Structure 1
Amino acid sequence: MHLGRALHLPLAAALVTAAALSLTGCDNSGAGGDRAHYVTDADGISTVRKADRQPAGAMKGETLDGKRLDVADLRGKVVVMNVWGSWCVPCRAEIPNFVKVAKAVKGKGVEFVGINTREASRTQAVAFEKDFHVDYPSLYDPTGKLVLAGFPKGTLNPQTLPSTIVLDQDGKIAARSLQGLSEERLRKMIDAVLADT
């Protein structure tokens, strides 16, 4: 009798988990999102039509180097936001591409901002930026509060590390990738947003 009950518990747990995943897995834009408002291409980059874009929420706080940054102050520019952690292997693989592209597009009305998250202390994150010569700022967001506030449910929000979100000149969420980016794919994301200004 106990054995039969024990076998049913894992099955019940598996069914509950499967149901939860089916509810959340249907919509990559977060709860309450509308997939009709964005498309995902073969490279895994999701884009939103200009008329359907939603504004990013408040993203302001202290950077890894102790300065204050408010992403709203960057309105008028395309903002590439990369959510990363120093312990994240794909983050380490993609960061040289971000450093290279950030330098190349700096004079074209594009700014890069990192969001360092799920780090217990700044030490590893600062070392990461130093090792990879990252010269753009990263907000320190150890608990993920900035990410939740900045990318509301129903928008193209980060769901994994790394995630990259591109804001248009009006501070609206225009594109997202939920995987590590090559230089070519990163440029493609940025160029698409610049083209519809």
Structure 2
Amino acid sequence: MTKTILLILLILMFDTTFGQQNSVKNTFDYVVRNAFGDLNNDGLEDKAIIAMDTIDNSRPFKLEIFLSNPNGEYHSFFSSTTIIEAMYPPEKNGAYNGSQIPDVNIEDDKLQLDFYIKGNSRYEFQIRKEQFRLIHFTFVHYDSKNITEIAFDLLKNQYSKQVEILETSKITEKIDKEVRIRPLPTLKGFKPFINEYY
């Protein structure tokens, strides 16, 4: 009898502990951004959300993309908790990361992620062969003296960069060149600004 009670208590304790661990890992319960539109050209409305984990002190984010089924229900197509840096990342000892929460949009079958890190940047992804591929990148940065603009069309291999003095409109740097990146970067494992060109 004592062994049976002990066994039941151990099972209940394991179940409770395991359940708490799972709930902590899946507490992205606050939707910060969302977007709706057709991502895969099937005529159905898909959606993308950025959600925050309000339990974890670092306030991590999850980007999740859902595609529509013909019956009107959504299924998860892509999910990542590493693309967007946590608001108070552990590697910065819980200090604020200094950047705003990115915006997410769906336009003309493209997923657009707008980051505000040392300037304004837009990454455009498109579904091909069951994965999101980066096809376009733009970046604009103002400081007290200059404006820097970058545009990179990864499909056409066209990269341009221009730096202009704000006060005089004098261009101090201008680059137009062909840059070919193959295979195209994908959303899986993506992080902004880890590449020389994007």
TM-score, structure 1 normalization: 0.25
Q: Structure 1 or 2: larger helix share? A: 1
TM-score, structure 2 normalization: 0.25
Q: Which structure is richer in relative contact order (CA contacts within 8 A, separation 6 or more)?
A: 1
